[in-house]
């Protein structure tokens, strides 16, 4: 049988379909999630049910969001999982997760399609208020970026925005051999726990997004030059930001205080 056909389904590359196929890895992820009956679990991209099946054994009900029509139909009619599932045949990047939060704080998990994982996470951060925690399988490089500290190569826009909303905890590394078909990259599981109180809140999120975008688009410029059109050197110094460093050296607290200064001083 072709490597791309798994349980009678031909993996669709455009949907980032790499199905988990290693019972130890699956057990490890489910143990990390620790689903409990009565909790409001939501899976993104359940696929053929590698994670869905063990999770439905532990909970009464599970919402799943799956874009592939064939897989959504398979899950709905599955003899054991089907009755416990509400299958939303939808694009998770446009899905209103707040709609599911009336059943309690969301515990979202998934082995995410790698081709859309970054925009999908940005979409999910906007629902952070409704979320208890999230567990995702991602490309290992993306987990490194989520967990990175200032001054490292992996530190960037995704890091700052993720850490603005969430505590980031890498959980498990996973080799390509755990999937069918095997992806070309290493993978890792990460836990994201939204802060109950934001440690460095901003008055206007669009300024934080803008300083991140501008700062990390020109990583080699100094802070002074990178933000020249927005803020002068004296103000940067007053905010405790060394203008001679690079934006990648700025902490989340510094990005937030710059965003707040801009919100107060620019129309
Ligand atoms: N959870 C399964 C597993 O671990 O074996 C499948 C994981 S596979 C990497 C990604 C899954 O996400 C596929 O089932 C794919 O069809 C689905 N998917 C891809 N893009 C999606 C999107 N935008 N919204 C929802 N599901 C999507």
pLDDT at 2 over 60: no
Structure ipTM: 0.99
State the distance from the centre of ligand 1 to the C-alpha of 232, rounded, in angstroms. Answer: 46
- Binding positions for S-adenosyl-L-methionine are 18, 20, 45, 66, 91, 111
Q: Give the position, in ligand 1's atom list, of the atom nearest the Cα of 26.
A: 4
- pLDDT above 90: residue 17: no
- For the stretch 171-199, pLDDT in tens is 999 999 999 999 999 999 999 999 999 99
pLDDT score recorded for residue 8: 81
Alpha-carbon span 56 to 41, nearest angstrom? 10
Residues 6+ apart with CB under 8 A from 126: none
Q: Is 233 left (phi over 0), alpha (psi -120 to 50) or beta?
A: alpha
pLDDT tens string 54-65: 999 999 999 999
Within 6 Å (CB) of ligand 1, which residues are found? 15-20, 44-48, 50-51, 65-68, 71, 91-93, 111, 113, 116
Residue 131's closest CA among 163, 160, 166? 166
Give the Å distance between the CA of 12 and the centre of ligand 1: 10
pLDDT of residue 14: 82
pLDDT at 89: 98
Q: What is the pLDDT of residue 25?
A: 97
**Strand 40-44 relative to strand 62-66: parallel, antiparallel, unpaired?**
parallel
Task: Give pLDDT, residue 12.
Answer: 87
Q: What is the pLDDT of residue 3?
A: 64
pLDDT at 128 over 80: yes
Rounded-to-5 percentages of helix, strand, coil across the chain: 45, 20, 35
> What is the whole-number distance in angstroms between the Cα of residue 17 and the centre of ligand 1?
6
Spatial separation of the C-alpha atoms in residues 216 and 246, rounded to whole Å: 9
Ligand 1, closest atom to CA 12? 16
CB distance 109 to 137 below 8 Å: no
For Cα atoms 196, 200, 205, give the angle at the middle one, nearest 5 degrees: 95
Each residue's pLDDT tens digit, 219-231: 889 999 999 999 9
pLDDT of residue 138 exceeding 80: yes
The residue whose CA has the least distance to atom 6 of ligand 1 is: 47
Annotated binding-site ranges: 18, 20, 45, 66, 91, 111
Tens digits of per-residue pLDDT, 149-173?
Answer: 999 999 999 999 999 999 999 999 9
If you average pLDDT over residues 227-241, what whole number do you get? 96
pLDDT averaged over the chain? 95
- Residue 13's pLDDT band (cuts 50, 70, 90): confident
Query: pLDDT (tens digit, 9 = 90+) per residue, 75-88?
Result: 999 999 999 999 99
- Interval 79-105 mean pLDDT: 96
Average pLDDT over residues 236-262: 97
| Ligand 1 centroid – CA 175 distance (Å) | 18
């Amino acid at each position: 049988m072709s490597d791309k056909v798994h349980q009678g389904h031909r993996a669709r590359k455009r949907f980032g379909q790499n199905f988990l196929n290693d019972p130890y890895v699956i057990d490890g992820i489910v143990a990390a999630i620790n689903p409990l009956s009565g909790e409001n679990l939501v899976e993104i991209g359940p696929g053929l049910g590698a994670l869905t099946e063990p999770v439905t054994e532990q909970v009464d009900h599970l919402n799943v969001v799956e874009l592939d029509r064939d897989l959504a139909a398979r899950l709905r009619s599955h003899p054991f999982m089907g009755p416990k599932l509400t299958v939303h045949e939808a694009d998770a990047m446009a899905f209103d997760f707040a709609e599911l939060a009336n059943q309690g704080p969301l515990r979202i998990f998934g082995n995410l399609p790698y081709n859309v994982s970054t925009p999908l996470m940005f979409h999910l951060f906007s629902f952070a208020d409704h979320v208890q925690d999230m567990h995702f399988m991602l490309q290992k490089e993306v987990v490194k970026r989520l967990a990175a500290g200032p001054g490292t190569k992996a530190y960037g826009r995704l890091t700052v925005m993720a850490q603005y909303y969430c505590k980031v905890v890498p959980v498990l590394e996973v080799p390509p051999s755990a999937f069918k078909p095997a992806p070309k990259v290493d993978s890792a599981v990460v836990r994201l726990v939204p802060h109950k109180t934001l440690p460095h809140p901003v008055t206007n999120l669009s300024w934080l997004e803008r300083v991140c975008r501008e700062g990390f688009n020109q990583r080699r410029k100094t802070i002074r030059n990178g933000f020249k059109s927005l803020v002068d050197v004296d103000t940067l110094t007053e905010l405790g930001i060394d203008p001679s460093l690079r934006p990648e050296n700025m902490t989340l607290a510094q990005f937030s205080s710059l965003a707040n200064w801009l919100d107060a001083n620019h129309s």
